[in-house]
Amino acid sequence: MKQPLWLILFSILIFLGGVYSNGQTAKQEVEKWKVHDPDRPMPPVVDPGPAGNPVPAPSDAIILFDGKDLSQWTDGKGQPARWKVENGYMEVVAKTGAIRTKQNFGDCQLHVEWASPVLVKGEGQNLANSGVFLMNIYEVQVLDCYKNKTYADGMTAALYAQYPPMVNACRPPGEWQTYDIIFRRPRFDDKGQFISPAWVTVFHNNILVHNNAELIGPTTHKARPPYKAHPDRLPISLQDHGSPIRFRNIWIRELE
Ligand code: MG
């Protein structure tokens, strides 16, 4: 039976519409906006409720920081980490550099608690900046964005330079906040050829802010470079961006 022309054209339009809305690659989605585009809309603010007690680590977790010492961490050169430890938390000591875990990790579930200084100093990216780096390469931004404006892809809980969080779930400065990160590392073959990207799910203060987001490469400042082959397991690192951010109760579950 011959279909009327209008029906054929209509079907083609519906098909193309489907390809456009569902077939978009992560790269196309990320590149809809320039890196750190000031016009990229900020996500809506959601009040996560008051801070709670430290979340107990499950029995199969590896404890990376229990508030007592930095024995699981080194500085960037493999020397003892020089951040301050007191009252059950560690605090960034400016200019001592990022710290990283002694142990290497690939796919994982990571729990981190952090707080920004009560004394609000600076603005934008200089207001209480740090970061949680999966594999020392892929950053979940730590920043005080409680009433602080910055570019959307660099705000609190952003997958830096790629995805803003779905909502702004910040607590006020000084209050403890949580990240629960589920990370699947990128895959490369024996020859270093790219096989599959990294996927990241993040809960900020128990609120879903990234739902299996596909990273298009390493997260860097003002650039979106492509993937470069790296080992299957690398350290978790915490950034020294000069702000006295505090961390406590860090634990990880290996997923591979
Ligand atoms: Mg940062």
Domain count, the chain: 1
Give 135 Cα–ligand 1 centroid separation in angstroms: 15
Ligand 1 centroid–CA 157 distance in Å is: 10
The CATH code of the domain that includes 103 is 2.60.120.560
Residue 19, pLDDT score = 47
Distance in Å, CA 142 to ligand 1 centroid: 6
Amino acid letter for position 174: G
pLDDT in tens, 137-188: 999 999 999 988 899 999 999 999 999 999 999 999 999 999 999 999 999 9
Residue 228 sits in which domain range?
Answer: 5-254
Q: Span 1-7, mean pLDDT?
A: 69
pTM surpassing 0.75?
yes
143 C-alpha to ligand 1 centroid (Å):
7
Q: What is the pLDDT of residues 123-150, one digit of tens each?
A: 788 778 999 999 999 999 999 999 888 9
Contact 147, 174 (CB under 8 A): no
